[in-house]
């Protein structure tokens, strides 16, 4: 089992920045990749960014150039730095953990999830 706890969400004006954190505990050595997803009201959960153990990263087109995913192995923590935020970035952001190689953008392939943290961007 892997436990994930997100933090860092909040209310910010358009153009502002936030940094989300995801602290992992438990059997973190079984993790192949960490991902961030988001879900806005009435919409499906969508992929935001992923970080593979090799340090390879991938991003959704909608956040590329604005968001950065990174990890601190010593702290078992993954971060999502979000810059130049837009109102359409408003959503609950979820951290997730994936055990095996596969499609990084598919939420169904992730094994563990955090409880989510709300990000609200005002215009």
Predicted confidence (pLDDT) per residue in 19-39, tens digit: 999 999 988 878 899 999 999
Please list the ranges in the chain whose pLDDT falls under 50. Answer: none
Strands 117-122 and 10-13: parallel
The predicted structure's pLDDT at residue 30:
81
- What distance in Å separates the CA atoms of residue 100 and residue 27, rounded to the nearest whole number? 14
Rg, the chain, Cα only: 13
Half-sphere exposure of 57 (CA within 13 A, CB side): 17
Half-sphere exposure of 101 (CA within 13 A, CB side): 2
Please report, rounded to a whole number, the percentage of residues in the chain having pLDDT higher than 70: 100
Structure tokens of 92? 């609950």
């Amino acid at each position: 089992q892997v436990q994930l706890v997100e933090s860092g969400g909040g209310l910010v004006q358009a153009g502002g920045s936030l940094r989300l954190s995801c602290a992992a505990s438990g059997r973190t050595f079984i993790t192949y990749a960490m991902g961030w997803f988001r879900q806005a009201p009435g919409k499906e959960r969508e992929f935001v960014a992923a970080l593979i153990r090799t340090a390879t990263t991938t991003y959704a087109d909608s956040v590329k150039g604005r968001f950065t995913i990174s990890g601190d192995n010593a702290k078992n923590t993954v971060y999502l730095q979000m810059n130049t935020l837009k109102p359409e970035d408003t959503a609950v952001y979820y951290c997730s953990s994936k055990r095996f190689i596969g499609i990084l953008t598919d939420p169904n392939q992730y094994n563990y999830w955090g409880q989510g943290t709300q990000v609200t961007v005002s215009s």
